[in-house]
Amino acid sequence: MTDGTEDTTHGLSARDEAVLAVERRPWPGPGAKERAIRERLGISPTRYYQLLNALLDDPRALAHDPVTVNRLRRVRDARRARR
């Protein structure tokens, strides 16, 4: 997934890496994460989650941050199983 920004070592764009960085850290309460998404990334939370979901299926994202990607895959799979 690329948005035309410079690729980094694993082939992810800077924005893709920033999305994973937001997911990597803990958030203190409701609204803080959404505010950070708007301020740091300049996109809506809806767009952020669309990008994040696509990253979870991207092998480059897994190579870049396997702990975060695998954790989020488990969460996504558990949600799907409950439906």
Residue whose pair of structure tokens reads 């695998």 in the numeric block: 70
d(C-alpha 41, C-alpha 66), whole Å: 22
**Predicted TM-score (pTM) of this structure:** 0.82
Alpha carbon 71 to chain centroid distance?
11
Largest CA distance in the chain: 39
- What string of pLDDT tens digits covers the 83 residues of the chain? 444 444 445 689 999 999 999 999 999 987 999 999 999 999 999 999 999 999 999 999 999 999 999 999 999 999 989 98
